[in-house]
Structure 1
């Protein structure tokens, strides 16, 4: 049975996209987590599964060769619909999964437990899951340990996202520290391609900035002498040359 679409699916997919993690190479920091999950729960398969629009993709995997499967057959697509850990003790007896090709053939899933990977904003982007080919019962300590590891996955994703943002910010700062050609008359700025841009266009091309235009007191007096300036308005003071 295909899982229902998650609530606020567009926002969930956008949150996943913002991590820029899909289809990246294997990383030891994530592989260490799936290894620990498999060892702690004594299962042959452990996955960090990210649920994309039409597929689930495995950032890290233990005991499984494939790197992704269709979302139609994904256990994790069911897990992200709830707030709590999803436990399927015997998929052969669960009407949601008993006809699933992942149950009826390789990897012959019987037991499944998936902890939703929840972003700080509450978007469920995937799971940390463990799988066995026989029915299982995990202890409360094992369940809690898996939930702690799932939180570590999200922390790793957040660390990467913040690092990417800092790198982009440093790149913008480096651009702004360079000598910038500016027209002496119209104050336009020449970009790297040799074209002239307004100050607003140049800054917006290097940072996510919006502008609110006004007129300073000096320009009001020069171009609009009939308009009285607002007394004591610091925003209208003339800029220094």
Structure 2
């Protein structure tokens, strides 16, 4: 199997470029600017202010790509034979990808984020078909514009208990994800957490 490459270049955040999801886009192909549809948003944790403070203390948001993270997402995509994998961090109003493969946008509004639903799910989240799940079926950013159907994510739970985001893999077709798959994804997630916690600082950061 050909090994995938990691992060596709330095992310240039541009909130103005965030796609909008409109009811007309789903039904008739047309929509007014006032006819905006939103998916069921992820619950905001009670400790979100403290979680965000812990995230900011990592000094990792909007930093350049690093090989230590790129290698993990590339391995995850190869291991599960999925076209998309990323390390997502959940900011106060956006999801930002520290590393990604197979997907161009490096960030999206938090309200559009599937990974945001893992902040209160320490067991992880598997969605066999996004179009069949009431939480995500109208997320045209992921389903229509990016073309995703399957999602599996493992939460980045730090030693202090705060969840920073997720390591996730995604596919453009529905599929299943068994207990062995979950265990492998969780093991890769643990590597990401070790790096975020500073236990891998001796590695190269290019």
Which TM bucket (shorter chain)?
0.7 to 0.9
Please give the TM-score of this superposition, normalised by the length of structure 1: 0.65
What is the Cα deviation at residue 139 of structure 1?
3.3
What is the Cα deviation at residue 160 of structure 1?
6.7
1:42 paired to 2:81:
yes
Measured in 2, the distance between the counterparts of 1:43 and 1:162 equals 28
Measured in 1, the distance between the counterparts of 2:57 and 2:43 equals 23
Aligned residue in 2 for 1:75: 114
Measured in 1, the distance between the counterparts of 2:162 and 2:69 equals 20
Q: Which has the larger radius of gyration?
A: 1
Measured in 1, the distance between the counterparts of 2:147 and 2:103 equals 11
Aligned residue in 2 for 1:51: 90
Q: 2:137 aligned to 95, 98, 114, which one?
A: 98
Q: Deviations over 1:70-108 (max 9, x none)?
A: 101000011222111100001101000000123441212
* SS in structure 2 of the partner of residue 105 of structure 1: helix
Q: 1:147 aligned to 138, 162, 186, which one?
A: 186
Aligned residue in 2 for 1:32: 71
Measured in 2, the distance between the counterparts of 1:154 and 1:19 equals 11
Contact 1:73-1:101 at 8 Å conserved across structures: no
Which of the pair is proportionally richer in helix?
Answer: 1
Contact 1:19-1:161 at 8 Å conserved across structures: no
User: Structure 2 regions of 5+ residues with no counterpart?
Assistant: 1-39
Please give the TM-score of this superposition, normalised by the length of structure 2: 0.75
Aligned pairs for 1:39-188 within 5 A: 39-159=78-198
Residue 38 and residue 104 in structure 1: after superposition, are their counterparts in 2 closer, same or farther (change >3 A)? Answer: closer
What is the Cα deviation at residue 161 of structure 1?
9.7
Measured in 1, the distance between the counterparts of 2:68 and 2:201 equals 16
What is the Cα deviation at residue 69 of structure 1?
0.6
Measured in 2, the distance between the counterparts of 1:160 and 1:65 equals 29
Task: Tell me the C-alpha RMSD between the 2 structures.
Answer: 1.6
Higher relative CO (Cα under 8 Å, sequence separation at least 6) belongs to 2
* SS in structure 2 of the partner of residue 87 of structure 1: strand
Q: Deviations over 1:180-216 (max 9, x none)?
A: xxxxxxxxxxxxxxxxxxxxxxxxxxxxxxxxxxxxx
* SS in structure 2 of the partner of residue 159 of structure 1: coil
Measured in 2, the distance between the counterparts of 1:150 and 1:80 equals 14
Contact 2:65-2:99 at 8 Å conserved across structures: yes
